[in-house]
Amino acid sequence: MHVLVLFAHPRRASFTGEVADTFCAGLASAGHTVEFADLYAEGFDPLLDAEQFGLETSLDPASPRPADVEAEQARLDRAQGLVFIYPFWWSDVPAILKGWFDRVWTYGYAYAYEADRSRTTRLPIRKALALSPAGHTDEKLDALGLREAHRKVMVEDRMLGVGIPEGRLELLGGLSGNLPEERRRILAAANSLGCAF
C-alpha cells in the first residue's frame, strides 16, 4: 500500500518527529511505500481565505481550487493509506493541521451532496490513522473524556465522515515528565502500529 504521512509539528527534530520516524520504519518493514509531507517545513498555508470560502460555500464541485490545495489533493490521489502524526495540543490537532482539513477537504473532492442529501467522496483513501503523542497519561485522557472526544472528531468526522472506510485514532499518553521509559514505550507502540498498518 502507498501511504501518505502528514506530519504536523513545528520541529522535525522533536519527540513527535521520532514517533514519525519509528512509525515510518514500521511501515517500510511491512512493505508499504511512504510519501512524507511535513506541513510546517513545506510552508503549508492553513488559512481559509475569503475567496476559497466563497468557492466552498457555492457548493460547485467544478470550481477551481488554489494550486496548493490541488497539490495536496494530488498527493492524496496517489495514496491508499493516510496517516496524520501530530502532538495532542489543547485537546486537538495543531492549527496547521486543522487548517489543512479546512482547505483540503473541499466540496466535490472530500464530499458532495447528492439529490437525496446523501454524501459522496472522490477520496481514494481506504484506511486512515491519527497518531498522536500526548502529555496526559492514558488514564487521565480517558478520565477527562479527551480520547473519546478526539476520536469522534478525528475518526467519525474527519475520516469516516468523508467516506474513508477505515479510520482509527491512537493517542499515546504519558509524556508529562519526559520519562525515558514512557518515551521508549510510545516509540515501540508507534513502530508496532506502522508494522501492522
Please provide the average confidence, as pLDDT, over all residues in the chain. 95
Q: Are 163 and 119 in contact (CB under 8 A)?
A: yes
Share of the chain above pLDDT 70, in %: 100
pLDDT at 178: 76
Q: What is the pLDDT of residue 119?
A: 75
- Buried-exposed string 16-33: b where 16+ CB fall within 10 A, e elsewhere: beebbbbbbebbeeeebe
* Cell numbers placing 193: 502500529
Q: Per the structure block, which three cell numbers stand in for 160?
A: 469516516
Q: Going edge to edge, which strands form the sheet with 166-172? A: 33-38, 2-7, 81-85, 127-133, 166-172
Tell me the CA end-to-end span of the chain in Å, nearest whole number. 9
What's the rounded mean pLDDT across residues 54-78? 93
82 neighbors 127 (Cβ within 8 angstroms): yes
Q: What is the pLDDT of residue 150?
A: 98
Contact 82, 4 (CB under 8 A): yes
Domains, the chain: 2-196 (3.40.50.360)
**What pLDDT score does 127 carry?**
98
The pLDDT score that the predictor gives to residue 175 is 87
Would you say residue 62 has pLDDT above 90?
Answer: no
For the record, the C-alpha cell of 188 comes out as 515501540
Least confident of 11-20, 51-60, 99-108: 51-60
- Given this model, what pLDDT does residue 116 score? 76
Name which of 48, 106, 102, 50 is nearest 73 in CA terms: 106
CA 67 to chain centre: 21
Query: Binning pLDDT at 50, 70 and 90, where does residue 131 land?
Result: very high
Binned at pLDDT 50, 70 and 90, residue 159 comes out as very high
Exposure class string for 71-106: b at 16+ Cβ within 10 A, else e? ebbeebeebebbbbbbbbeeebbbebbbbbbbbbbb
Averaged pLDDT, 112-130: 87
Indicate yes or no: pTM above 0.85: yes
pLDDT at 8: 98
